[in-house]
Chain A
Amino acid sequence: MGQTIAEKIFSTHLVDEPFGDVSVLKLDRVFCHEITTPIAINDLQKRGKDRVFDPDKIKAVIDHVSPAKDSKTAVQGKILRDWARKHQIRDFFDIGANGVCHALFPEKGYVRPGFTVIMGDSHTCTHGAFGAFAAGVGTTDLEVGILKGVCTFKKPKTIRIELTGNLPDGVYAKDVILYVIGQISVNGATNMVMEFCGSCVDQMSMEERMTLCNMAVEAGATSGICYPDMTTVEYLWPFIRDDFQSKEAALESYSKYISDDDAEYEAVKTFDISNLEPLVTYGYKPDNVKTVTEMAGTSVDQVYIGSCTNGRIEDLRVAAKILEGHVISPTVRAIVSPATPKIFNQAMEEGLMKIFMDAGFCVTNPTCGACLGMSNGILAPGEVAATTTNRNFNGRMGKGGMVHLMSPATAAASAIQGVITNSPMFIG
């Protein structure tokens, strides 16, 4: 019997099987941010176990509320900062160098095919785009990971999502993942790894694959995962060039992390995306999905472009292309938050920031703040947001606010019109 990519990663990282379907895995990466890690740090200190399993495998960032908005969030940042210093965690990113974790850590080359990754953040599934098993965990599992470098998982079942066809103009990875979640529902992949494959995924950039994998958890999945290929190698090449003689050699090595033809799946779903339209969510669940055409005309108070889903350079380029020469509707306030300093710099060099500012956008530093209703763009009760983020839960971006999830193209077009609208990139 063949193995799925997730099963292969489990096989190579297994340290114990205390019960039949329970695997204890060795971790290659433990990522930390200032919201879920401080409780673990405090507890480790209280228990007299203030140690880390390997400071080089732990990467930490202050990203959720940055700069701190009040004393409480300042203290959370301080706990993480002091701990990172004490344990000589070199890859710690503080204000000025910090960015949204799931954009920053891939950009730094920390994730490789075949890796196991945990973080106290549900969107850790993003890193599966590199052919890694990457799972969000709670603070207790994170604490064990920090201390011991292991994490316990049930044997992974996999749902294979085959995406065929070419993306139509004006339709993006975000539309694809919203479509998939709409089809399989918010618990369609619970306790499963969501494996994305097919000609559509093969053609996607790493950024697009990260957008796909980022929202796997919105269907309940433990990790998203894509097969490593030459696109993966090209993205990682600056970080792996000393490890391999050539890109081909890297690809050959990584190819062991591709599912076997006779691997067993919990389910296989095939979707032809050739006729897909831009999509948007309408309710409080990510599977409440309609076409933008159906939702056109819905008034919007705030537009937000950013986050670990869609705050990368390709996202900003698409949005800027639509905004160039336009100003946003006077009824809308619009915010763009490049997900990392590198993306911010690149956007400035390419003139994108000028386009955003000329259009009337507020440009913020990289942070997760608005997406989870903590800072930098909270909604008032009754307000409506058109956003490129990943969660539309009731009150997510502020108590009483409504969140419509969409692609950067749709968000930019909606900012100009003041209502939800298809982007001019989509001909239909």
Chain B
Amino acid sequence: METQFIGRAFTFGKNIDTDQIYPGRFVELTREKDIARHAMEGADPEFVKQFKAGDIIVASTNFGCGSSREHAAITLKAVGTACIIAESFGRIFYRNAVNLGLPVLVCPGVSQHIDKGDELSVNIETGLIKDLTTGKDLHAQPLTGYPLKILSAGGIKTLIREKRTQRH
């Protein structure tokens, strides 16, 4: 998996909960392409029309708080989110994103420095975020250890499969 991305920022505020990322009324959907249609619908109904694969989500604190529904991470991965940078995350969402191979970076203060539409260059291994629009550099907590290993494999299932293949 790539560890460096360049993409446009889509910005969100504090406490973007799972019901905003993926409203409960759609949790009966199971196919990824159906789930993708409702990404961020509760926070911004125009999101799916404007977001392009490779774009980056930037949010304030507690992104993904609330439900365990993996639909929230599935939908953001399915629309092609390159990575999510937030000041902090809800635990279950963070886990789900890593498990699916969707990079999530913690960067205190990030929401005050990045505007919607800014072009960002992000390195998840060093944590360096370059705002190419404003020229500002920000430093997220680099991804290390187990989360990086899972992300590098492209998700927990691939990692387990690779481990098994190595053993045999």
Contacts and interface: CB of A to CB of B under 8 A. Distances in A.
B70 A140 contact: yes
Interface string B94-130: 0110011000000000000000000000000000000
A395 B88 CA distance: 23
Contact of A395 (B42, B90, B157): B42
Nearest to A68: B28
Interface stretch (B1-9, B13-21, B49-57, B133-141): B13-21
Contacts of B62: 186-187, 190, 220
B27 interface: yes
B11 interface: no
A311 interface: no
Contact of B23 (A36, A76, A121, A399): A399
A122 B92 contact: yes
A146 to B, nearest CB: 13
B91 interface: yes
A238 interface: no
A72 B146 contact: no
A374 interface: yes
Contacts of A417: none
Contacts of A220: 62, 65, 90-91
Interface string A142-163: 0010000000100000000000
Contact of A35 (B20, B28, B66): B28
Contacts of A398: 25
Given A35-B28, A39-B30, A76-B28, A138 B99 contact: yes
A372 interface: yes
Contacts of A373: 19, 23-25
A137 B19 contact: no
Given A72-B28, A220-B62, A138 B92 contact: yes
B27 A35 contact: yes
Interface residues of A, number: 49
Interface in B53-73: 61-62, 65-70, 73
A186 B73 CA distance: 20
A121 B66 CA distance: 10
B39 interface: no
Interface stretch (A17-25, A200-208, A293-301, A359-367): A17-25
A394 B30 contact: no
B31 to A, nearest CB: 9
Interface string A111-141: 0000000011110100000000000111111
B24 A137 contact: no
Most central of A65, A76, A222, A396 by chain B CB within 10 Å: A396
B36 interface: no
A393 interface: yes
A190 B88 contact: yes
B27 A187 contact: no
B87 to A, nearest CB: 10
A42 interface: yes
A267 to B, nearest CB: 16
Interface residues of B, number: 38
Given A76-B30, A391-B66, A136 B92 contact: yes
Contacts of B66: 122, 217, 391, 393
B69 A36 contact: yes
Contacts of B92: 122, 136-138
Contacts of A121: 68
B94 to A, nearest CB: 9
B99 A140 contact: yes
Given A138-B73, A220-B62, A393 B28 contact: no
A174 interface: no
A120 B68 contact: yes
A42 B30 contact: yes
B20 A394 contact: yes
Given A138-B70, A138-B73, A222-B91, A372 B61 contact: no
Contacts of A374: 24-25, 27-28
B28 A186 contact: no
Most central of B18, B25, B62, B100 by chain A CB within 10 Å: B25
A73 interface: yes
Contacts of B73: 138
A33 to B, nearest CB: 11
A396 B91 CA distance: 20
A399 B25 contact: yes
B106 to A, nearest CB: 11
Nearest to A39: B30
Contacts of A285: 15, 17
Interface in B136-168: 145-146, 155-157, 160
Given A138-B68, A187-B90, 6 more contacts: A121-B68, A139-B96, A140-B156, A222-B91, A393-B66, A395-B23
10 contacts: A20-B145, A76-B30, A137-B92, A138-B70, A138-B93, A138-B99, A190-B65, A374-B27, A395-B42, A399-B25
Interface of B: 15, 17-20, 23-25, 27-30, 42, 61-62, 65-70, 73, 88-93, 95-96, 99-100, 145-146, 155-157, 160
